[in-house]
Structure 1
């Protein structure tokens, strides 16, 4: 389980960084904030505790794919400027 978490973190690190930058950007699309909030609620859904296998598939496969799709829908100038943000 710990290995899966680190794989998930490594694969979605750039998408998480880009989405965090886009949330604070002035020109972000209106739909982006509600989409990220819904994705976060889906990630921490209570049915993950009832069906652990389905929860693992959701958390480590479906949620990163949705996050990556949302980041690709962002305007190009936001994605490009997110790549130039220094890592703190």
Structure 2
């Protein structure tokens, strides 16, 4: 259970960094197509045909590719955005 919680923490952090990088005007050209392909892979209809294999596959491949995309970002985009204070 601790490993799943750690994986979720890493994926959540990578998703935040990716979301921030996608909104920047100086993002790499390859970032939008790579993110779109990853989203299509995660939502592909093969998961419906074989639900168990699809969930296991998405639970392994999608977080790894997400982390790889974040690792390939330039250093200035990999920095997590500071959280805004709530009023």
TM-score, scaled to structure 1? 0.81
TM-superposed deviation, 1:31? 0.3
- The residue correspondences of 1:31-70 to structure 2 (distance < 5 A) are 31-70=30-69
Q: 2:28 aligns to what? A: 29
RMSD: 2.0
Q: What is the distance in 2 between the residues matched to 1:44 and 1:33?
A: 17
Aligned residue pairs, count = 82
TM-score, scaled to structure 2? 0.82
After the TM superposition, which parts of structure 1 deviate over 2 Å for at least 4 consecutive aligned residues?
Answer: 6-11
Q: Relative to total residues, which structure has the larger helix share, 1 or 2?
A: 1
